[in-house]
Amino acid sequence: MIFRKRALHKGASIGMHVLTHDEVYYVVSGRGELRVDDTKREVGPNTAVFMHAGADVGIRQLGAEDLVVIVSYPPATAH
């Protein structure tokens, strides 16, 4: 598994995109709004969300504090 730390500053977002693999977002700090397909959900510290391949996802920062997220996904397969 790959683990990437992302910090979204005030007003920042990861735009909507269709996942090509399963993915997990773990919120370390801050608040955000996560959209998965047609469902929106507010997320905060210690929240983990599993999203399946094919889901259309995006997340945006809310409030004054940076939204810090660990994104976990499988490595690309070697050919």
Domain containing 21: what range? 2-73
15 CB burial (10 A radius; 0-12, 13-18, 19+): exposed
- 10, part of any domain: yes
- 62, part of any domain: yes
Q: Per residue in 26-36, pLDDT tens? A: 999 999 999 99
Q: Per residue in 14-65, pLDDT tens? A: 999 999 999 999 999 999 999 999 999 999 999 999 999 999 999 999 999 9
- 78, part of any domain: no
| CATH for 45 | 2.60.120.10
Total number of domains in the chain: 1
Cα 21 from Cα 50, distance rounded (Å): 11
